[in-house]
Structure 1
Amino acid sequence: MNIKISGLRSGLNYNDMLNPITGGFVSDIEARLGCELSMSDIDDYDCDLKLIFVQSGGSENLFLQNLDKLKEPYYLLTNGSNNSLAASLEIMTFISSKGKNGEILHGDVDYIADRIRTLVMTKKLKKSLNETVFGVLGQPSDWLIASVPSYEEVTKKLGITFKDISLDEVKKEYDHALMVNKDLLPGVFDDDEKVKALRTFGAFKTIADRYGLSGFTVRCFDLLKPLATTGCAGLAILNDEGITAACEGDIAALISMHIVKLLTGQPSFQANPSRISPSDNTMVLAHCTIPMAMTDDLRLDTHFESGTGIAIKGYLREEDVTIFRLSADLKNFFVSDGTIIKNLDEPDLCRTQILVKFEEDVSEILKKPCGNHHIVFYGHHAEDIRRVMRDIL
């Protein structure tokens, strides 16, 4: 983390007390963060986060005198000594009265360090989302009646922009796709089916490159008849390659998956909640595509609903995971840490199937759902997701 700090303090007669007190305060924060807070000029914003250290009372007019050098949002750091909190409250009240954003970072050192980490994560995420272009290949599937956000609202709140792309363009690129390396699909399966699946991957890849897409979602069921194959393998490979790829035209799931990728660097599993058991706080999640990098082992199978083409039957590591879903109106989200209890092999579910024990109350999904598909990824990241989403939303 590249964090810079600029100080404000008055010329009152307690100045001699400031350096040992404030120096120790900053050192303690650095120790908790594991990085240095670099002292800088008041107008130096070449960093991940800029802090204004209000070190004493009487600093209010110094803030006003430097206002034209400062940028919103204003993060005021204070340790509470020498009337620094009193000055920070006055300054923040002034900032709020002008309709501008900011926050006072005050409390114990652990709280302040955690808050700084969250602000850095949030700033980096916002910057990446502002550079994100998503493709929507076809329209969202008809059954996704609660997963279609307003493009304008998403752009306004998250900075993401969208490009609508016809499925006819996908079909055209499929027809033009050259043979690609069959080793991209490990496992024994009919070679002709592998070729068709990899031509679909080639079509998706060409379109993503053409439009500079960070990710896309595709109305994949409408490709089953004209292409006589599925998009499951193509989506799996693209997620492994770093392009966020979601199925069924689910834009809310795509946004959720991309946030996970930006925050953790991981691909994720877009899955249907298939069964929920409030009594033991578990859920069965299943789908026919998964990034192959997430699997310990896999086999190729047909697509569950249609019996067509190739789907991925992945076996995941039985370890800690996080489950996340953002609502389409961008007002709510569900997130929980959990653990994969076991992989399943049931005939009436999509091919990749896992049983997950949740830490949060799983019945909340029954009472206040944020949509169908939930996103599963390795590690416990719920608290980081929760803090960042509260800042962004």
Structure 2
Amino acid sequence: MNINVIQLMSPLHGEENVINSLRPSMNFLEDNFDVNYNSQENSDGITVVWVMTGGVEGKFKEIYPWLKKPIILLAEDINNSLPAALEIMAYVRKQQEKAYILHGGFDEIKQEIEKLYFLQEAAKKIKDARIASIGGPSDWLIASHVDFHKVSEIWGSNFVYIPMEDLLKSISEIEIASQDDYFSKAAAAIGIQETDVQAADRIYRGLKKLVQEKNITALTLKCFDLLDPLKNTGCLPLARLNDEGIIAGCEGDMPSLFTMLLVYILTGKRSFMANPSKIDKKANTILLAHCTVPTSIVEEYSLKTHFESGIGVAVAGKFAEQPVTVVKLGGRALDKLYIAEGAIVSNTYDEHRCRTQIKVQMEYGLDSLLKNPLGNHLIIVPGKIETLFRGFMDYMEIIY
């Protein structure tokens, strides 16, 4: 890991004396990181301002404008370093910028540097993302529209609108090809013909073509608009895109897609976008269902028809009983958060719900879900990630 270290010391102490007094810290830095000292360029990695002595506040103020943000200060327990770092920290906060002080044992400092590097890289990936809305949001998502300008101001992401006509044209240019191994892994195909799978494959390839042509990181699809012209759905194509690391959501639900993308960036995990179908407050359980799920996060899956329309190819996945996190970003600026942890306790099979169905025993959070919902979908992530997710929101200084 590369770190750029800016050394600040007062001439009153004498440079040689300061370096000698802090030799253990210098050895620690050079033993654990690729260190570049005193560069004024925003190089790769993170920049650490090493407050080696007191009396350097004025020097810091001079260099502050060109320092990479957020400001990370390394404070020692000698040479009046810590009080100087606290003064600098207060100054930076007055500029309404993020700042951190590294202080303590070497193991603790190493972990904090690695954490800040990880968070910085995650923020960069979100900022660099090109997120596509294909066809816009579904008509029923009356509370899930976002202000792309505000979202870009907070998160930095770029948003692209692609008309449904562009996707239909892309699909029409795809020839039917022999199916690869991906489509033969299903445990069963119930009510599905080979021609249905071939049509779903063409949708997948048409989406993939748009992704490559327009350099798309993630996409959400107004999938019900495929039912009439193609007599098929986006369920299986979206599952496959997710499996390939192209995060894809349905119904044109941008808040859900953005949540899925952030989950993937922070954890490397694919997630399940689903409808809350039933809440049992006494048992503290929630039943979640949808017609698409990444096949990489389930134990097995079958192909069935799409629930609402009875046509096309949907994915009925079977989850392992395991801890999960239920999460959703919402609001017009995607700056509101619902998050709670629980565990999958069973898979259910009810013909009156979407095809992948799980019951989750929640540890907490159902009351707030009913009182302050962020829309009609939730995102289910294998494992417990609440601490990591909230930590990133705090790093981004999003008050949720």
Counterpart of 1:278 in structure 2 is 281
SS in 2 for 1:256: helix
**Alpha-carbon distance between aligned partners in 2 of 1:115 and 1:146, rounded to the nearest angstrom:** 38
1:5 and 1:37 in contact (8 A); partners too: no
TM-score using structure 2 length: 0.87
Higher deviation after alignment, 215-224 or 107-116: 107-116
Counterpart of 1:288 in structure 2 is 291
The answer to whether 1:156 aligns with 2:153 is yes
Alignment of 1:1-393 (within 5 A): 1-13=1-13, 22=22, 35-36=32-33, 38=35, 40-43=37-40, 45-67=42-64, 70-97=67-94, 99=95, 101-106=97-102, 108-109=104-105, 115-183=112-180, 184-186=182-184, 187=186, 188=189, 189-329=192-332, 330-392=334-396, 393=398
Tell me the amino acid that sits aligned with residue 242 of structure 1: G
**Alpha-carbon distance between aligned partners in 1 of 2:356 and 2:376, rounded to the nearest angstrom:** 16
Q: Are residues 136 and 68 of structure 1, via their aligned partners in 2, closer, same or farther at CA, if it must alter by over 3 Å?
A: closer
Q: What is the total number of aligned residue pairs between the two structures?
A: 389
Gaps of 5+ in 2: none
CA shift for structure 1 position 219: 1.0
**Alpha-carbon distance between aligned partners in 2 of 1:88 and 1:292, rounded to the nearest angstrom:** 50
Higher deviation after alignment, 247-256 or 212-221: 212-221
Tell me the amino acid that sits aligned with residue 394 of structure 2: R
CA shift for structure 1 position 353: 0.9
Higher deviation after alignment, 129-138 or 78-87: 78-87
1:88 and 1:104 in contact (8 A); partners too: no
1:14 and 1:82 in contact (8 A); partners too: no
**Alpha-carbon distance between aligned partners in 2 of 1:366 and 1:104, rounded to the nearest angstrom:** 37
Q: Are residues 20 and 277 of structure 1, via their aligned partners in 2, closer, same or farther at CA, if it must alter by over 3 Å?
A: farther
2:102 and 2:112 in contact (8 A); partners too: no
SS in 2 for 1:224: helix
Tell me the amino acid that sits aligned with residue 48 of structure 1: G
**Alpha-carbon distance between aligned partners in 1 of 2:291 and 2:325, rounded to the nearest angstrom:** 20
Tell me the amino acid that sits aligned with residue 353 of structure 2: L
Tell me the amino acid that sits aligned with residue 91 of structure 1: I
1:320 and 1:340 in contact (8 A); partners too: yes
Gaps of 5+ in 1: none
1:131 and 1:159 in contact (8 A); partners too: yes
1:336 and 1:360 in contact (8 A); partners too: yes
Tell me the amino acid that sits aligned with residue 254 of structure 1: L
Tell me the amino acid that sits aligned with residue 180 of structure 1: A
**Alpha-carbon distance between aligned partners in 2 of 1:283 and 1:60, rounded to the nearest angstrom:** 54
TM-score using structure 1 length: 0.89
2:130 and 2:158 in contact (8 A); partners too: yes
1:370-392: CA deviation from partner (whole Å, max 9, x where unpaired)? 22211122222221111002222
Percent of aligned positions with the same letter in both sequences? Answer: 33
CA shift for structure 1 position 357: 2.5
SS in 1 for 2:345: strand
SS in 2 for 1:208: helix
Q: Over aligned residue pairs, what C-alpha RMSD do you find? A: 2.7
CA shift for structure 1 position 202: 1.8
CA shift for structure 1 position 234: 0.7
**Alpha-carbon distance between aligned partners in 1 of 2:30 and 2:196, rounded to the nearest angstrom:** 56
1:197-244: CA deviation from partner (whole Å, max 9, x where unpaired)? 111112211222221111111111121121111110111111111211
**Alpha-carbon distance between aligned partners in 1 of 2:251 and 2:391, rounded to the nearest angstrom:** 29
Q: Are residues 113 and 373 of structure 1, via their aligned partners in 2, closer, same or farther at CA, if it must alter by over 3 Å?
A: farther
1:309-356: CA deviation from partner (whole Å, max 9, x where unpaired)? 110001122223222211133221122333222221122211111122
CA shift for structure 1 position 149: 0.7
Q: Are residues 30 and 102 of structure 1, via their aligned partners in 2, closer, same or farther at CA, if it must alter by over 3 Å?
A: farther
CA shift for structure 1 position 14: 9.4
Tell me the amino acid that sits aligned with residue 70 of structure 1: L
